Structure 1
């Protein structure tokens, strides 16, 4: 909004606003304002003071806001979030946990480290340019078909088995350290439904069972 008065205001707190979450093209997890941080820190104190009437009113407002935040029906682009504050990260994860019917989800460049506590039913997930180090830090993805993990910091294929039961057809691990390791395309042996790796279709050699190569014998000669 053009006025700085509304810089940190959620859309559902604007008067006479009937916009719902599934109508937002690219929502942002906004920065916390000082009043909200103070409320979060002192919430226990407020409860102890027994302000039941105010609490009931706030609970009613939160329920109305929750109805407007119908993330369950969204096709979301949650990329480029500035998650520099724990308040923001907590609310971001809260939104992800409500995406029970999302099919396509963009989470590009969010500095995400661990999403293992989240379950996402999406068919397409883009986690390009985050800070993932291990594959077991991925969310639970029972229905994923297309997964992009390019430009993270994944150094090994450990934890790849968690995707073995998914219908994963294409995987992108470009610009991860693991992409430069030997026998990298053994990924196809671990993921039976995989058709494309890093934009390259499955090759005949990729269909062969993976075997650990025996060390090559060397001949030693003495030069006199």
Structure 2
């Protein structure tokens, strides 16, 4: 009896002890073991069924005289039926359609009713340009949050159905930089850089009920509240304070300062 370099007995007619039970079973079923005759194998016997099963489908082995415990590889069970495959195909189609629908919803800005696009960190001109492109698609939005976005000019945007717009903490310097808001009812412009009331009359035709201009330079204007309420007769609340009786008083224009002349001799 000889032994190869791999430590496996190579004497013809003998097999490793670990496969003795398999050999006895194969003798009973008259299924000879195959021997690897490749040059590199050293004539090492392998505990596999005869080569006559080489091209037999695995799920049809039960029709032969070879049992599962005589195979050294896992058994492959019979595949699913045609009905099961059809159900699996339909399930995958539904999943793909659902995923595509979700993707369409994510890009369907036109149908958004409430949207929060705050804190976008728009530090580049390319980002601001594309952000404005998105805002122009919001033709059905009713509530829009645009807090702390470093926005400077929204005059090219029209929000025909917007009832509430929050532009808190941006970089607007003039009311003429606001978007077109024919249906706005609540507008927040606090903590911007608005220095005058020029352009406020454009909101006179809208149903604006509350306006917040707190912490803007314009709030230091003489008769600031009276001027705002005179331009917006439908306004009810300004900077969080309801309309007061004195807000309806006539505007008192400041007297011109006397010119002082100094003659230098």
> Is the pair's TM-score, using the shorter chain for normalization, greater than 0.5?
yes
Moved over 3 A (4+): 213-217
Alpha-carbon RMSD: 2.1
Encode CA deviations 1:60-80: one digit per residue, 9 max, x unaligned.
xxxxxxxx5111121110000
Matched pairs, number: 158
Choose the corresponding residue for 1:165, options 182, 191, 205: 205
Rg: which structure is higher? 2
Return the offset for 1:179.
1.0
Partner-residue secondary structure (3-state), 1:102: coil
Contact 1:80 1:109 (C-alpha < 8 Å) held by counterparts: yes
Partner of 1:34: none
Deviations 1:136-166 (A, max 9, x none): 0000110100000000000111111111111
Unaligned runs of 5+ in 1: 1-15, 23-67, 218-224
Q: Measure how far apart 1:86 and its partner are.
A: 2.4
Partner of 1:53: none
Name the structure, 1 or 2, with higher relative contact order (CA <8 Å, separation 6+).
Answer: 1
Q: Which moved more, 1:87-96 or 1:166-175?
A: 87-96
Pick one of 145, 155, 164 that aligns with 1:124. Answer: 164
**C-alpha spacing 1:20/1:204, structure 2 compared with 1 (3 Å):** farther
Contact 1:103 1:124 in 2 (8 A): yes
What's the TM-score, normalizing by structure 1? 0.66
Gap regions ≥5 residues in structure 2: 1-98, 259-265
* 2:196 equivalent to 1:156: yes
Partner residue in 1 for 2:149:
110
Distance 1:90 1:216 in 2: 46
TM-score, normalization by structure 2: 0.56
8 Å CA contact 1:21–1:71 kept in 2: the answer is no
Q: Distance in 2 between matches of 1:95 and 1:216?
A: 49
In structure 2, distance between residues paired with 1:21 and 1:211: 56
